[in-house]
Amino acid sequence: MNTVVAVGYDQALPGERALDLAASEAARRGGSLLVITAYHWLTPPAPDTLTTSDTESTARKAAEKIAESGAARARRRHPEVPVEARAVAGYAGKVLAAAGHESDLLVVGNRGTGGFQGMMLGSTSLRTLAEACCPVIVARGNLLDAHRRIVAAVDIDGDCDAVLDFAFDEASRRGAGLTVTHVWDEPWIVAYGQQDPGIAEDVARIERERDDRLAALVRSFQARYPEVRSFHQLAIGSAAGLLVDTSRHADLLVTGARRHAGGRHGMLIGPVSQTLLQHAECPVAVVPLG
């Protein structure tokens, strides 16, 4: 498959930010950009008003105009990137998730098209994540490569190869450093260890063992990406809180989510990922696992 980055575009500010990020990703990957605007229409309330065909045509033409305006913006910023504009009938989340079947990456804004300030993560983004078959970047926070740093959050007790592969590849393309973080979320053990010297020795041993496992994982990918400056970090505490704090000094935060059972497309977004998608101060990439 040729590298295709697909983005949902609606002319709202989140849509423009997602579009700019998607165009940059397509340029980094030497691929093409698919700008998608989804549309749907309501059946006319009375027979003597517009026909269903009329309302569908009007909605489609408006969506085509919006999609083409987004494509024109992307071409101006990245003239080297082939850009296609496409208007697709359907609800935005499902339309974007379906586009993932022909794309290597999906990019969405951080809230819905309704424009409500309280909606930090919109239904379109959630539906896309719930049904997507490829990595999805949610365009949050600062979109500039200001820190030249990517953070990958991994669970060393599970399969995290896809997260590391995506993160190392992004760091390589951006010329950025990479910090691979594993958060050991067992504060009750640490608390007991502060009171009992015997338990403290056990806690220290577990920390060393987990740090060694994390280091070995990072080394295995470092060998494949020797140009990337990588570091590993074992942290203890609340994974969501620590990672949100870390996002303030990163250009991209990469995490993983399990696929649905039974081979179905889409990802199960757990509480930690949900918090990152709501509160991170940089874009968040969610990579399907398993």
Quick check: 104 and 4 in contact, CB under 8 A? yes
Quick check: 254 and 166 in contact, CB under 8 A? yes
Quick check: 181 and 244 in contact, CB under 8 A? no
Structure tokens at 88: 């697709």
Q: In sequence order, what are the residues at sequence separation of 6 or more whose Cβ sits closer than 8 angstroms to the Cβ of residue 100?
A: 6, 106, 132, 133, 134, 136, 265
What fold characterizes domain 1-139? Rossmann fold (3.40.50)
User: pLDDT of the chain along its 290 residues, tens only?
Assistant: 478 999 999 888 888 999 999 999 999 999 999 999 999 876 555 555 555 567 888 889 999 999 999 999 999 999 999 999 999 999 999 999 999 999 999 999 986 444 443 345 667 888 899 999 999 999 998 788 889 999 999 999 999 999 999 999 999 999 999 999 999 876 555 555 455 566 677 777 888 999 999 999 999 999 999 999 999 999 888 899 999 999 999 999 999 999 987 766 789 999 999 999 999 999 999 999 98
Hey, what amino acid is at 279?
A: H
CATH topology identical between 1-139 and 141-290 = yes
Structure tokens at 225: 């990406």
Structure tokens at 66: 């919006």
What fold characterizes domain 141-290? Rossmann fold (3.40.50)
Q: In terms of residues, how long is the chain?
A: 290
Distance between CA 23 and CA 220 in Å, rounded?
Answer: 31
Distance between CA 282 and CA 247 in Å, rounded?
Answer: 6
Question: What pLDDT, on the 0 to 100 scale, is given for residue 175?
Answer: 96
Q: Is beta strand 252-259 parallel, antiparallel or unpaired with respect to 267-268?
A: antiparallel
The secondary structure of the chain, three-state, reads CCCEEEEECCCCHHHHHHHHHHHHHHHHHCCEEEEEEEECCCCCCCCCCCCHHHHHHHHHHHHHHHHHHHHHHHHHHCCCCCEEEEEEECCHHHHHHHHHHHCCEEEEECCCCCCCCCCCCCHHHHHHHHHCCCCEEEECCCCCCCCCEEEEECCCCCCCHHHHHHHHHHHHHHCCEEEEEEEECCHHHHHHHCCCHHHHHHHHHHHHHHHHHHHHHHHHHHCCCCCCCEEEEEEECCHHHHHHHHHCCCCEEEEEEEECHHHCCCEECCHHHHHHHHHCCCCEEEEEEC
- For the chain, which residues make up each domain, given as ranges? 1-139, 141-290
